[in-house]
């Protein structure tokens, strides 16, 4: 664990870092532990990035996490002290999260036209139920309290669902928006006829066409696209198309091979063999999501290709994955995510 922590923090000499990385790649427990450390550190960075720089609680959170990291990296950690620091860090982070939520809940929404004419007033504060509709040749900007802003393109109809009483939520009936949000993960979301785009702290574009198909493209950070309990993880540099018929969307990197792109675009997964053969190591993003396909023969073929690139972590079996057991698939996802761009 000590060497893995040092590797993650960039404290090992190049030769030793290479040795530790090579060992972790061939050792399932170490590989899983490294993935967990990366996920924890990523979550901490995401949370701390949302805090206010001059807020005492944010400073306390940063100090506690810094002390926790220092204790983790000591040669012979004193576990009682380590546990106490961990508890302090947790308390500080919860307090910081509460402060962020309170601040965001009290901040108003506001919109204004930045080009052309809107269907209603050209500016004002937004309330639940308000609709922002941009006519052809017009654009608007909606400020989401202190969380960020949403650019509304021409031909778009956007409705305010919740201004922070329970969540921060909009509904995109049609058209295109571009959101830039700096907030706690899952605090802001945008509904569509095909599902819900849940912000994980990022910048992304979202479009809905005349048939209700939603196209999500993530520029930085990540978005979770959700429908009836199922989630599609879309990181920076990837996109997905979601249909209102309930078919689970499959994310693709922007430069994904064409055979894989054609396969993921259709529930019938045409030319599956060619698609799997074209998949690169990076395309584990797409392959993992294809493991949720309703056809067992598709899942079997996808499993073999995915396991050939990155075997599942210790304790996760082939049978569990083919049965689409959520706990097993989530464990594999945690192992894969750190290797994707933006998560390294």
pLDDT at 133: 92
pLDDT at 201: 87
Domain edge (last residue) among 249, 267, 292: 249
Indicate whether 191 and 205 sit together in one domain: yes
Indicate whether 7 and 114 sit together in one domain: no
Cα separation, 335 vs 32, whole angstroms: 6
Domain edge (last residue) among 62, 82, 105: 105
Indicate whether 100 and 112 sit together in one domain: no
pLDDT at 254: 95
pLDDT in tens, the chain (344 residues): 556 666 655 666 666 767 777 777 778 777 777 776 665 555 554 444 444 433 444 444 545 555 555 555 444 444 455 445 455 555 555 444 544 444 444 567 888 888 877 776 667 788 899 999 998 899 999 999 889 999 999 999 999 999 887 789 999 999 999 999 998 899 999 999 999 999 998 899 999 999 999 999 999 999 999 999 899 999 999 999 999 998 899 999 999 999 999 999 888 888 999 999 999 999 999 999 999 999 999 999 999 999 999 999 999 999 999 999 999 999 999 999 998 986 65
Cα separation, 319 vs 3, whole angstroms: 33
> Residue 117: which residues within 8 A CB-CB, separation 6 or more?
135, 138
Stated length of the chain: 344
pLDDT at 48: 46
Indicate whether 273 and 336 sit together in one domain: yes
> Residue 224: which residues within 8 A CB-CB, separation 6 or more?
186, 197, 198, 200, 231, 232, 233, 234
pLDDT at 261: 95
Query: What CATH number is associated with residue 208?
Result: 2.60.120.1440
Indicate whether 312 and 268 sit together in one domain: yes
Domain edge (last residue) among 57, 79, 105: 105
Cα separation, 116 vs 122, whole angstroms: 9
Indicate whether 184 and 94 sit together in one domain: no
Indicate whether 205 and 286 sit together in one domain: no
Indicate whether 16 and 65 sit together in one domain: yes
Q: How many domains does the chain have?
A: 3
The domain in which residue 7 lies consists of 2-105
Q: Reduce the DSSP state of residue 261 to 3 states and report it.
A: helix
Indicate whether 193 and 223 sit together in one domain: yes
Indicate whether 93 and 135 sit together in one domain: no
Indicate whether 192 and 91 sit together in one domain: no
Indicate whether 118 and 23 sit together in one domain: no
């Amino acid at each position: 664990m000590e060497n893995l922590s040092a590797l993650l923090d960039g404290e090992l000499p190049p030769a030793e870092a290479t040795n530790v990385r090579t060992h972790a790649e061939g050792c399932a427990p170490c590989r899983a532990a490294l993935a967990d450390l990366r996920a924890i550190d990523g979550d901490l960075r995401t949370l701390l990035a949302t805090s206010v720089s001059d807020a005492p609680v944010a400073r306390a959170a940063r100090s506690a996490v810094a002390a926790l990291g220092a204790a983790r990296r000591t040669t012979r950690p004193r576990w009682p002290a380590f546990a106490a620091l961990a508890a302090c860090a947790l308390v500080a982070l919860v307090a910081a999260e509460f402060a962020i939520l309170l601040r965001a809940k009290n901040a108003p929404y506001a919109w204004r036209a930045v080009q052309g004419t809107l269907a209603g007033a050209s500016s004002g504060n937004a309330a639940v139920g308000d609709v922002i509709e941009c006519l052809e040749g017009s654009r608007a900007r909606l400020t989401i309290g202190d969380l960020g802003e949403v650019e509304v393109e021409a031909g778009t109809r956007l409705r305010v669902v919740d201004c922070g009483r329970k969540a921060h939520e909009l509904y995109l009936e049609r058209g295109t928006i571009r959101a830039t949000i700096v907030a706690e993960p899952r605090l802001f979301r945008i509904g569509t006829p095909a599902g819900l785009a849940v912000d994980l702290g990022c910048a992304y574009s979202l479009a809905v066409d005349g048939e209700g198909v939603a196209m999500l493209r993530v520029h930085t950070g990540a978005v979770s696209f959700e429908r009836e309990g199922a989630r599609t993880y879309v990181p920076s540099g990837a996109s997905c198309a979601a249909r209102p018929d309930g078919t689970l969307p499959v994310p693709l990197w922007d430069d994904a091979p064409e055979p894989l792109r054609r396969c993921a675009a259709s529930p019938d997964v045409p030319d599956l063999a060619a698609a799997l053969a074209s998949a690169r190591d990076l395309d584990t993003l797409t392959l993992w999501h294809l493991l949720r396909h309703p056809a067992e023969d598709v899942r079997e073929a996808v499993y073999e290709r995915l396991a050939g690139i990155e075997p599942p972590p210790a304790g996760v079996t082939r049978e569990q994955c083919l049965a689409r057991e959520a706990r097993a698939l989530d464990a594999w996802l945690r192992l894969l995510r750190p290797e994707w761009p933006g998560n390294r």
